[in-house]
Chain A
């Protein structure tokens, strides 16, 4: 911890404050000021220029009636749950690597793992967009080749999904409203995140070999080892990642914007809160309303973090 200091000495050390000043200026100007300005402007009808008209809480009242915004939370809720489930492959990968006997291999596998992270995110995004292409995309080729498509066509007729999967036509992943959310979930298969895996491996490192030996003596199999030894010890990491991931996903809209366009794609199925905010500001020109939306989003994130923290602290 930082050393305590007597007020007299603190006075003598006043120059230390100067160390903080540049950083403070940066965040005050570029993080706090915009935030406060956003709150301020959320009470106006503002088109981004100089003219604005004070309308009080009208923007907020409008939010309650804004079906699209409210629905976008549903969409992002689904995505958050999906992201939670997508942590599983990372955990599995971490356990596998951790249990290898050769440290050299462990190192090289970790390197290979980090490699996709180094490629610019946009490139990965656009390659996947290409995979989703109905005519040329790898995904459709795979579906036909593996027979999954015929299965889906049968299921379609059985459940009455309405002709999303038809025999003669390629599956339009980003074109059918009902396929959009599944596409967003499928994106990134096999869902191994380098950061996650590395974090989990780091957590697993703290387990000593004696524990494994004891487990072997007790005759616990590999799966048992996972449930009783490894999982409880990486729970803290998982929690941290979960919180960060939820906050991040709630705000995110870049992927939806680039894959689906500014309206969230067909039927607006891919509209997420962040994208709607962007849409209102930069397409419809309703900057004031967008600020109000942003504030709502902030409150939701704050609420979720608070709940998460309570959850975290209890267990610690």
Chain B
């Protein structure tokens, strides 16, 4: 939870606050630049590089253009990320339950099978994966991205969920079994309610991972209507005449969905990352 208070003298903290704020400012500096440039055009940027311009001079047009360009991409990314996350969690939950509930025959071998995957450099797979998707007629589809996202998240999620489920007291399961509950019932009624926070954390991590993915979409997608946000940004970077104000506005618009979600699920994010990470 929260770190116990160690320092006795609050005013001694002053320089710590200072140091932390300084580092944070440096860390957040790129985003400050992004925001202030997004309201200018190239000429005014060259004249006034560092400070934001006055609100009366703000070019909302930049945002308007950015939204027109990016909204389709954002919606595509939304569809892919949410679907992939749901897929990942659903299948991983089932799989983790299998491993955690009983030591079924072969489960040791199967488990190693999953662990080895953690080491595989995904890089080597791109080529045959491409050929595989081609033979399945899945090229240039968002479905391919969703499936890949679901498959990619299996290993990590099963690992974490297995550990979690194993911690649940066995008596709960045995009691339910004696009441005649099927395994699926046990999963639904015991595991799921207890695993709210951890499912939430995993969901967030998977969602982030899928949202940030750009390599496979770049390779697989041909039609601009299907582009996800990653591909859209790369194409934007490839334009010849760069209006930096426009581009920065596009970056901001691309960041807004995640920031909004983050604002609402803050505690989950922060707590989940710390505790989930400790187990890792």
> What residues of chain A have their CB less than 8 Å away from a CB belonging to chain B?
1-5, 7, 9-10, 13, 15-17, 19-20, 22-24, 26-27, 29-35, 37-38, 41, 48, 89, 93, 96-103, 105-107, 109-124, 126-131, 136, 138, 141, 189-190, 192, 194-195, 198-199, 201-205, 208-209, 212, 237, 240, 247, 250-251, 253-254, 258, 274, 277-278, 281-282, 287, 290-291, 293-295, 297-298, 301-302, 305
Contact = CB atoms under 8 A, between A and B. Distances in A.
Contact of B19 (A3, A96, A103): A96
B128 A34 contact: yes
A30 B120 CA distance: 12
Contacts of A89: 23
A100 B154 contact: no
Interface stretch (B1-9, B57-65, B192-200): B1-9
Nearest to A50: B131
B48 interface: no
Given A37-B131, A38-B124, A116-B27, 5 more contacts: A31-B152, A48-B130, A93-B23, A115-B28, A119-B259
Interface of B: 1-10, 13, 16-17, 19-20, 23-24, 26-28, 30-31, 33-34, 45-46, 49-50, 91-92, 94-95, 97-105, 107, 110, 113-114, 117, 119-132, 147-148, 150-152, 154-155, 158, 166, 170, 183, 187, 208, 211-212, 214-215, 219, 229-230, 233-234, 237, 244, 247-248, 251, 254-255, 258-259, 262, 266, 269-270, 273-275, 277-278, 280
Contact of A201 (B3, B26, B280): B3
Given A16-B98, A38-B127, A121-B212, A5 B121 contact: no
B187 to A, nearest CB: 8
Contacts of B92: 23
B119 A190 contact: no
A189 B273 CA distance: 22
Nearest to B4: A209
A106 B2 contact: yes
A202 B274 contact: yes
7 contacts: A3-B170, A17-B104, A26-B91, A31-B155, A32-B113, A120-B258, A195-B277
B100 to A, nearest CB: 5
A119 B91 contact: no
